[in-house]
């Protein structure tokens, strides 16, 4: 029966995202956005109870807080984590964040600042925010709701906001051993940077997606992991937890069209 | 000792070309009553330093920003700050110092500690160093020899903050869950002006409440009584941000003549009219705190 559960693509991606934090032990797990946050919450409730999480404002909680309006739900705080303390946590390296940048390049460099010419950008976005500091100080994973060549650009990202594995960017004497990029969860697949020379590798394909399609929608060459398989489907238990963590079904709006998890060929 | 003054008196003391830091974070606890007073003034050529929210966008829209020192500009629920975006995309703001959030804090801290710089790893191997050639690196003088950025002190002529409670001596309380970086702005500035929801004669607090004080009164030059002075941004624990006003403000960036219409409606008539236009004190006091 359990292999017959129905699930959406968003739910598949939440489960895939939760795998980013497996084995992290005690560190601050920050999932930014609906799917990454649900992924971190699911990780804490299943395989990685040591993770620290916040109420997405200023307090630590041991029970991940459901998304959206809380009704009668009363958060129970276990500690305090205002922005200033998040910086301390970042600089000490005890954090693993999953963020959704606007552009990602083959070296894992990320852009949240602007697209196009810096002086007169085609699109001015948020600004670098905490990306430079986060990316050089602790583990990060990446989230991409719509896998395309606009996100996975051919050359370097337009404004390198977060560091990556491009050797030319690292001057002598700069420590690059404190950073790592764990996984990239997209609407098509899960990737990592564990290919030759830290190149991008497809680790698993979501049901109904081919390697060729992923390659076609990526601006740089990909390799397949030797054991590349299908992204693991959510279990009934995981889906129940996801429903509890997201009672207003915000995940239904996270991926355009809220497609089913098992896509049939178009 | 009485540091009370009006927003007009605060702004009368500001000069063209000053470096002004704005407290708060994004759409949270910004000194908007003072910002509106600046918008009504002829002040220009400002260097604005902020964890940016609508104050950055509005000052850009009004053409008052010569240089922006920032890590981001956002309204949170609307991720992209509409006027910052519009002015940047028109090529109208090219003197930029775009920094990692932590570098920004480090710059304020260095200024507050009267140090020329503080070392940091943040920003290395990114375009932050490339786009800000004034940033220099420094080698650790110890055996490790690590190369770090020497984040220069971010000295402010003036810091403008909004808090929940103040007294006429300049004591302040921030009662929301996060004090943000206001204390660092206060320390980094030559002069610091604080607007407050409530201004009392003298704070006489129990120990638990006194912990809401995040910087010393000797840092505070002036105190302004400005109820709803953070609107349309939030002022936890008093009120939340005003999404309907943010939408109106965002529309001003797409409508023809939108900024002038916004100024005519909300800025020019003054603070009392501003509150009325936004539903009056009764509505403003009930703006719900955002749930994250």
- The structure tokens listed for B255 are 């409508």
Angle at the Cα of B140 from the Cα atoms of B135 and B141, rounded to 5 degrees: 125
Partners of residue A160 in chain B, C-beta under 8 Å: 125-127, 130
**pLDDT tens digits for range B177-231:** 999 999 999 999 999 999 999 999 999 999 999 999 999 999 999 999 999 999 9
Residue A1 has pLDDT above 50, yes or no: no
Cβ contact, residue pair B123, A161, below 8 Å:
no
Residue A203 has pLDDT above 70, yes or no: yes
Interface test with A, best of B48, B80, B102 (most A CBs within 10 A): B102
Nearest-neighbour CA in chain A from B257: distance (Å): 21
Partners of residue B85 in chain A, C-beta under 8 Å: 123-125
Confidence of residue A5 (pLDDT cuts 50, 70, 90): confident
Partners of residue A101 in chain B, C-beta under 8 Å: none
DSSP state of A213: H
**Nearest alpha-carbon partner for A18 in A36, A34, A30:** A36
DSSP state of A260: B
Partners of residue A57 in chain B, C-beta under 8 Å: 177-178, 292
Residue A69 has pLDDT above 70, yes or no: yes
Of all residues in chain B, the percent with pLDDT exceeding 70 is 100
Instruction: Give a three-class secondary structure readout of chain B.
Output: CCCEECHHHHHHCCCCCCEEEECCECCECCCHHHHHHHHHCCCCCEEEEEEECHHHHHHHHCCCEEEEEEEEECECCECCCHHHHHHHHCCCCCCEEECCHHHHHHHHHHHHCCCCEEEECCCCCCHHHHHCCCCEEEECCCCCCCEEEEEECCCEEEEEEEEEEEECCCCEECCCCCCCCHHHHHHHEEEEEEEEEEEECCCCCCHHHHCCCCCCHHHCCEEEECCCCCCCCEECCCECCCHHHHHHHHHCCCCCCHHHHHHHHHHCCCHHHHHHHCCHHHHHHCCCCCCC
Q: What is the mean pLDDT of residues A242-246?
A: 98
Quick check: B21 and B189 in contact, CB under 8 A? yes
Cβ contact, residue pair A87, B91, below 8 Å:
no
Q: What is the mean pLDDT of residues A69-83?
A: 95
User: Which residue of chain B has the CA closest to A89?
Assistant: B102
* Among A120, A159, A170, beta carbon nearest to B89: A120
Q: What is the mean pLDDT of residues A106-128?
A: 98
Quick check: A117 and B88 in contact, CB under 8 A? no
Alpha-helical (H) ranges within A190-262 are 211-216, 236-245
Residue A2 has pLDDT above 50, yes or no: no
Quick check: B59 and B48 in contact, CB under 8 A? yes
Rounded distance between C-alpha atoms, residue B165 and residue B201, angstroms: 11
Of all residues in chain A, the percent with pLDDT exceeding 90 is 96
Residue A266 has pLDDT above 90, yes or no: no
Rounded distance between C-alpha atoms, residue A65 and residue A125, angstroms: 28
Confidence of residue A264 (pLDDT cuts 50, 70, 90): confident
Average pLDDT across chain B, whole number: 98
Q: What is the mean pLDDT of residues B23-52?
A: 98
Nearest-neighbour CA in chain B from A81: distance (Å): 9
**pLDDT tens digits for range B146-186:** 999 999 999 999 999 999 999 999 999 999 999 999 999 99
Confidence of residue A263 (pLDDT cuts 50, 70, 90): confident
Rounded distance between C-alpha atoms, residue B258 and residue A229, angstroms: 53
* Among B25, B88, B89, beta carbon nearest to A83: B25
**pLDDT tens digits for range A45-58:** 999 999 999 999 99
Quick check: A104 and A218 in contact, CB under 8 A? no
Cβ contact, residue pair A162, B137, below 8 Å:
no
Cβ contact, residue pair B94, A82, below 8 Å:
no
Cβ contact, residue pair B146, A124, below 8 Å:
no
Residue B142 has pLDDT above 70, yes or no: yes
Q: CB count, 10 Å around CB of A236?
A: 13
User: Burial level of B44, CB count in 10 A (0-12/13-18/19+)?
Assistant: middle
Nearest-neighbour CA in chain A from B173: distance (Å): 16
Interface test with B, best of A133, A174, A250 (most B CBs within 10 A): A133
User: Burial level of B1, CB count in 10 A (0-12/13-18/19+)?
Assistant: exposed
Q: What per-residue confidence (pLDDT) applies to A4? A: 64
Rounded distance between C-alpha atoms, residue A31 and residue A53, angstroms: 9
Q: What per-residue confidence (pLDDT) applies to B263? A: 98
Cβ contact, residue pair A119, B91, below 8 Å:
yes
* Among A56, A121, A131, beta carbon nearest to B292: A56
Q: What is the mean pLDDT of residues B107-112?
A: 98
Cβ contact, residue pair B122, A126, below 8 Å:
no
Partners of residue B181 in chain A, C-beta under 8 Å: 83-84
User: Which residue of chain A has the CA closest to B75?
Assistant: A126
């Amino acid at each position: 029966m359990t292999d017959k559960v129905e699930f959406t693509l968003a739910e598949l991606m939440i489960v895939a995202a939760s795998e980013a934090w497996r084995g992290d032990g005690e560190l601050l797990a920050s999932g930014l956005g609906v799917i990454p946050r649900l992924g971190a919450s699911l990780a804490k409730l299943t395989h990685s109870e040591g993770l620290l999480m916040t109420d997405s404002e200023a307090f630590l909680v041991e029970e991940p807080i459901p998304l959206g309006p809380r009704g009668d739900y009363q958060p129970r705080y276990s500690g305090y984590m205002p922005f200033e303390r998040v910086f301390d946590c970042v600089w000490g390296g005890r954090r693993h964040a999953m963020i959704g940048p606007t552009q990602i390049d083959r070296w894992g460099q990320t852009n949240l600042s602007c697209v196009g010419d810096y002086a007169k950008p085609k699109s001015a976005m948020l600004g670098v925010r905490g990306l430079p500091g986060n990316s050089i100080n602790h583990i990060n994973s990446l989230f991409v709701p719509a896998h395309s060549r606009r996100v996975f650009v051919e050359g370097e990202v337009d404004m390198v906001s977060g560091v990556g594995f491009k050797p030319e960017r690292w001057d002598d004497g700069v420590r690059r051993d404190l950073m790592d990029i764990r996984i990239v969860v997209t609407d098509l697949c899960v990737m990592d940077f564990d290919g030759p020379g830290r190149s991008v590798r497809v680790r698993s394909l979501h049901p109904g997606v081919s390697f060729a399609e992923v390659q076609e929608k990526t601006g740089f060459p990909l390799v397949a992991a030797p054991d590349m398989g299908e992204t693991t489907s959510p279990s009934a238990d995981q889906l129940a937890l996801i429903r509890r963590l997201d009672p207003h079904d915000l995940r239904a709006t996270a991926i355009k069209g809220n497609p089913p998890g098992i896509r049939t060929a178009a | 000792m009485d540091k009370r003054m009006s927003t007009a008196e605060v702004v009368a003391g500001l000069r063209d070309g000053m470096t002004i830091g704005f407290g708060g974070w994004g759409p949270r606890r910004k000194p908007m009553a003072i910002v509106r007073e600046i918008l009504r003034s002829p002040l220009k050529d400002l260097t604005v330093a902020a964890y940016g929210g609508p104050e950055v966008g509005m000052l850009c829209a009004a053409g008052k920003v010569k240089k922006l020192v920032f890590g981001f500009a956002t309204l949170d629920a609307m991720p992209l700050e509409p006027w910052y975006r519009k002015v940047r995309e028109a090529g109208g703001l090219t003197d930029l110092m775009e920094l990692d959030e932590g570098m920004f804090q480090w710059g304020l801290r260095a200024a507050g500690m009267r140090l020329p710089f503080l070392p940091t790893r943040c920003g290395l191997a990114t375009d932050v160093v490339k786009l800000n050639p004034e940033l220099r690196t420094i080698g650790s003088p110890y055996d490790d020899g690590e190369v770090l950025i020497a984040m220069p002190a971010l000295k402010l002529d003036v810091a403008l903050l909004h808090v929940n409670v103040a007294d006429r001596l300049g004591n302040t309380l921030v009662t929301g869950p996060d004090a943000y970086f206001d204390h660092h702005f206060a320390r980094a500035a030559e002069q610091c002006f604080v607007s407050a929801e409530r201004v009392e004669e003298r704070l006489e607090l129990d120990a638990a409440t006194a912990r809401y004080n995040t910087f010393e009164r000797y840092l505070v030059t002036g105190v302004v009584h400005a109820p709803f002075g953070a609107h349309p941004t939030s002022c936890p624990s008093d009120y939340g941000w005003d999404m309907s006003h943010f939408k109106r403000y965002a529309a001003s960036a797409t409508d023809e003549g939108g900024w002038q219409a916004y100024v005519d409606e909300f800025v020019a008539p003054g603070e009392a009219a501003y509150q009325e236009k936004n539903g009056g004190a009764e509505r403003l006091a009930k703006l719900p705190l955002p749930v994250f």
